Amino acid sequence: MNWPTIIYSEEVMREGFGIADARIPLSARIELIEALSDTGLKRIAVGAFVSPRFVPQMGCFEELLTSFRPRPGVEYVTFIHNQKARKLAEKFSPPLAVEAEVCTLFQDICDVHQRRNVNRSIEESMQGWPELIEDARSRGVTRARAGIASAWGSNFLGRFSREYRLWSLSRQIDALRAAGMEVFEIGLHDSQSFCLPHEMEADLREIKRRWPEVKHFHLHMHDARAMALPSLYAALRTLDPVDTVLIEGTLGGVGGGQYCGNGIASGMAPTEDLLHMLEGMGIETGVDLDKIIECAWLLERMLGHPTFGHVSKAGPRPSGPGLYDPNLPAVESLNAARHFKLGPAAYEGEAFSPWKQPISGPWFHIPGQPVSN
303 and 332 in one domain? no
Nearest in space to 218 (alpha carbons), one of 136, 62, 102, 310: 102
Cβ atoms of residues 13 and 46 within 8 Å? yes
The pTM for the full model equals 0.93
The predicted-structure confidence for 163-172, as pLDDT tens digits, reads as follows 999 999 999 9
d(CA 151, CA 85) in angstroms, rounded, equals 25
d(CA 272, CA 295) in angstroms, rounded, equals 10
The dihedral region occupied by 284, where left means phi > 0, alpha psi between -120 and 50, and beta the remainder, is beta
The mean pLDDT value of the chain amounts to: 93
Predicted confidence at residue 373, as pLDDT, reads 61
Does 200 fall in a domain? yes
190 and 116 in one domain? yes
292 and 358 in one domain? no
- 10 Å CB burial of residue 181 (0-12, 13-18, 19+) is buried
Nearest in space to 65 (alpha carbons), one of 40, 43, 90: 90
349 and 251 in one domain? no
342 and 210 in one domain? no
Predicted confidence at residue 298, as pLDDT, reads 97
Cα–Cα separations (whole angstroms), residue 224 to 47, 111, 164, 235: 22, 20, 23, 19
Does 199 fall in a domain? yes
d(CA 334, CA 350) in angstroms, rounded, equals 12
281 and 354 in one domain? no
Enclosing domain of residue 347: 325-373
Does 319 fall in a domain? no
Cβ atoms of residues 262 and 233 within 8 Å? no
Task: Give 351's pLDDT tier (boundaries 50, 70, 90).
Answer: confident
d(CA 89, CA 146) in angstroms, rounded, equals 22
Report the length, in residues, of the chain.
373
361 and 286 in one domain? no
pLDDT of residue 371 exceeding 80, the answer is no
Residue 255 sits in a domain whose CATH number is 3.20.20.70
Tally of domains within the chain: 2
75 and 222 in one domain? yes
The predicted-structure confidence for 10-37, as pLDDT tens digits, reads as follows 999 998 888 888 888 999 999 999 999 9
The values of phi and psi at residue 139, to 5°, are -100, 10
The predicted-structure confidence for 166-209, as pLDDT tens digits, reads as follows 999 999 999 999 999 999 999 999 999 999 999 999 999 999 99
Does 320 fall in a domain? no
173 and 44 in one domain? yes
214 and 338 in one domain? no
Cβ atoms of residues 208 and 4 within 8 Å? no
141 and 110 in one domain? yes
For residue 223, the cross-strand partners are none
